[in-house]
Amino acid sequence: MRVTVDLDLCQGHGVCESEEPSVFELGKHEQVTILDERPSEELRAQVQAAVRYCPTSALRIIEEE
Ligand code: SF4
């Protein structure tokens, strides 16, 4: 899977970071940085939770072969 963010939508709520800090980093920034665009399958549940709970629906998972 690949994780993408629409920075036009991200408002820096940081929900994603609290779901999986190894993939999403906010820190002091106003918008998220994707640290790992292709996270391992073991992180799928956490990444899906980040996608689901992002208040602005800025995150997407794209399935790749
Ligand atoms: S939860 Fe959504 S709005 Fe908040 S930092 Fe992450 S991507 Fe941006």
Q: Rounded to the nearest whole angstrom, what is the distance from the C-alpha of residue 51 to the centroid of ligand 1?
A: 9
The neighbour count for residue 7, using CB atoms within 10 Å, is 12
Residues 32-41: tens digit of each pLDDT:
999 999 999 9
Q: 2-62 has which fold?
A: Alpha-Beta Plaits (3.30.70)
Q: Rounded to the nearest whole angstrom, what is the distance from the C-alpha of residue 13 to the centroid of ligand 1?
A: 5
DSSP state of 7: T
Report which ligand 1 atom has the smallest distance to the Cα of 24.
6
- For the chain, the structural domain boundaries read 2-62
Q: Give the pair of three-digit tokens for residue 24.
A: 């999403």
Residues 17-62: tens digit of each pLDDT:
999 999 999 988 899 999 999 999 999 999 999 999 999 999 999 9
- This prediction's pTM: 0.94
